[in-house]
Structure 1
Amino acid sequence: MRVITQSYSRKRQWWLTVVIILGVWISGCDTTGTSQSSIDGDDKPNVVTTSTILTDWTKQVGGDEIELTGILKPGADPHVYEPVPADTIALEQANLILYNGYNLEPALIKLIKSAGVNIKSFAVGEVVSPLDFEHEGKTEPDPHVWGDAKNAIAMVNAIRDQLIELSPEDKEEFTKNAAQLTAELKKVDAWIIEQIQTIPKKHRYLVTTHDAFQYYARAYGIPVAGTLIDMSTEEQPSAQTVKGLADAIKKIGVPVIFAETTINPALIKTVAQEAGVKLAPQELYSDSLGVPGSEADTYIKMLITNTHTVVEALGGNYQTFNPVE
């Protein structure tokens, strides 16, 4: 049985209420008499994104034609992120808010819903038909839709369309930038399929800390054999859960399991020790990109890095990705 810490949830709700009230007070102090979300003259439209992945795509599609603010920073976990007053200010001043949806970033979604009624917001991830999972007797959508590069293409095109609606005079630039990005995504999608197929079939399974790789698994033919916790990283695994996963690993014969960059690796290390298997030396990037200058500071580089990690750890033959010329 997996245990959810209720006291933490109450603390989160209290803090989020404070942030919302403070944000409304700050925005109410504006004496210009002009809507914060209006675009004046030659000003660039102000776009706010939640996750680092959305920020990367929006930056590439929007280019120099938009002012972009990304709320979540590299390494931040969207499942448990607690908004700060600066986030409220950024949202109130936005002309367009792009968020993942499917409850990936619950506290931010609540804050977005409380923002000014004249501010356009759009759930980019919800253009994709979700996979479902069972949680506490309820069926919920899996928010980690970007794991499949084909889904990413649909999401990039949705961002393009939202930006065109926001700034029609820049349609040509947005369309060109989106086409360049989707061409690269198509190439990396085909490349991942080839790389995963080099892993010996008996080892072609994923075991990770939390259940963030179902879309990747379905798209690229590497089933998720088990996870320590479900979709939300708020959960704390019980001793029974750890033992159950360790027993499953032994039964399947998976030689290596994987930690993730946004979650304390001590959790999955315990499972590796219990199962008598190795923990991959490189953690997987799941809910966040890497810091600038790292091997995963863009979405495409994240896919490449994760695939490299998985293929090498599970005994495949990794071939370098050649980007679109």
Structure 2
Amino acid sequence: MLSPFTLRSKLIACALMMGLVSCATPEPQGSNAATEKEDNLPLVVATSSILCDLTQQLAQETIQLKCLVGAGVDPHVYQPTPEDRQAIDAAQLILYGGYNFDASLIKLIKASNNSAPKIAVHEQAVPNPLMGKEHDHGEEEEHSHKASEKVADPHIWHDAKNGIKMVEVIAQQLKNLQPNQSKKYQNNQEKIATELTLIDRWIKEQITTIPAEKRKLVTTHDALGYYVNAYDLEFEGALEGFSTEESPTAARVSELVKEIKKTKVPTIFAESSINPKLMTTVAKEANVKVSEANLYTDGLGESGTRADTYQKMLIENTQTIVTGLGGNYQSFQPN
């Protein structure tokens, strides 16, 4: 049996040995090193899934990228979170759409005391936007602008040529942020621009396969004006204006049904981020089809879908439109 003195000596020796082992064995550094590396990169905040995707394609691993409105979420009705505010306040570059596309986030961005560049990408890329009515309101509703007042259409990216301009704006801001990465950003900018030039040409070719009398588009909200203008279609109407913020009135639904019957539109199109129920009702009353595939009008599809990048979204929307209107769709083949 050990004496108290001997037992205490052994315990002390054991403790000393454990301490030596602890000091001699470094803690795993993998995760900490990765975190430190990430912490050393500039934080860039982008408000929409499209801006996020283009920024990621340009910057790749050279930045921390925080996307505020995820894929499949409607930016028109998005409500900012406390985490959004924290990211905006901490960012070294803030990229947002502008033209009131991401209205709630624009207010948050402009209210922030952060002195980092705050770039309205849509406004810089297309300083002369399409103009139109925001939406129709009942007489009892109050609004900040008159019903007849023209407002800018923010959905500029549906013309691939405007996508090239957006990439140019984002790339320049990244170059300003990290001049040492300018060559990488320039190379990626040129690569994306080449892809979009090919896609633009391909879209035009696909639209020509639709019979001329069927090149008519009806959608949930007025988001495809740039697409219609760029690719020789006629826009026949929508349930809502540029924003999805307010539900259409019964009068507007009735009016759209009449327009569809008059123009003999063969197919109408619902949208990925908006409940298709109302468009189904319109189609039934007008005796036309609703496209089996939805259009991606306000953002990208979720990861793993056929529209989870900007380029793929343009291709997927074109396939949906061409198929729905009776054209002969040919798959996009990059050169």
d(CA) in 1 for partners of 2:113, 2:73 = 26
Q: Which residue of 1 aligns with 2:83?
A: 86
Q: Which residue of 2 aligns with 1:31?
A: none
Q: Does 1:281 align with 2:280?
A: no
1:79-228 equivalence runs, <5 A: 79-127=76-124, 128=126, 129-135=128-134, 136-228=147-239
In the alignment, is the contact (CA less than 8 A) between 1:242 and 1:270 conserved in 2?
no
> What is the Cα deviation at residue 69 of structure 1?
0.8
In the alignment, is the contact (CA less than 8 A) between 1:48 and 1:70 conserved in 2?
yes
d(CA) in 1 for partners of 2:273, 2:303 = 16
- How high is the sequence identity, in percent, across the aligned residues? 49
> What is the Cα deviation at residue 116 of structure 1?
2.1
Q: Does 1:249 align with 2:260?
A: yes
d(CA) in 2 for partners of 1:277, 1:235 = 25
In the alignment, is the contact (CA less than 8 A) between 1:46 and 1:68 conserved in 2?
yes
Equivalent residue of 1:61, what SS? helix
Equivalent residue of 2:169, what SS? helix
Indicate the structure whose relative CO is greater, using CA pairs within 8 Å and at least 6 residues apart. Answer: 1
In the alignment, is the contact (CA less than 8 A) between 1:47 and 1:97 conserved in 2?
yes
d(CA) in 1 for partners of 2:232, 2:300 = 23
Equivalent residue of 2:76, what SS? coil
Deviations 1:178-219 (A, max 9, x none): 110110000000000000010001110100000000000000
In the alignment, is the contact (CA less than 8 A) between 1:45 and 1:66 conserved in 2?
yes
Q: Which residue of 2 aligns with 1:56?
A: 53
d(CA) in 1 for partners of 2:70, 2:39 = 29
Deviations 1:87-120 (A, max 9, x none): 0111111000000100000000000011124121
Residue identity in the other structure for 2:130: L
1:239-318 equivalence runs, <5 A: 239-318=250-329
The structure with more radius of gyration:
2
With normalisation by structure 2, the TM-score equals 0.83
Q: CA, structure 1 residues 42+134, in 2 after alignment: closer, same or farther (shift >3 Å)?
A: closer
Equivalent residue of 1:254, what SS? coil
d(CA) in 2 for partners of 1:156, 1:41 = 24
d(CA) in 2 for partners of 1:42, 1:305 = 36
Q: Which consecutive residues of structure 2, in runs of 5 or more, have no partner in the other structure?
A: 1-36, 135-146
Equivalent residue of 1:47, what SS? strand
Divergent runs of 4+, >6 A: none
Residue identity in the other structure for 1:54: L
Deviations 1:279-312 (A, max 9, x none): 0000100001011111000011001001001101
> What is the Cα deviation at residue 163 of structure 1?
0.4
d(CA) in 2 for partners of 1:184, 1:312 = 23
Number of residue equivalences = 285
> What is the Cα deviation at residue 236 of structure 1?
1.4
> What is the Cα deviation at residue 41 of structure 1?
12
Residue identity in the other structure for 1:289: L
> What is the Cα deviation at residue 241 of structure 1?
1.0
With normalisation by structure 1, the TM-score equals 0.86
Q: Does 1:230 align with 2:241?
A: yes
Equivalent residue of 2:233, what SS? coil
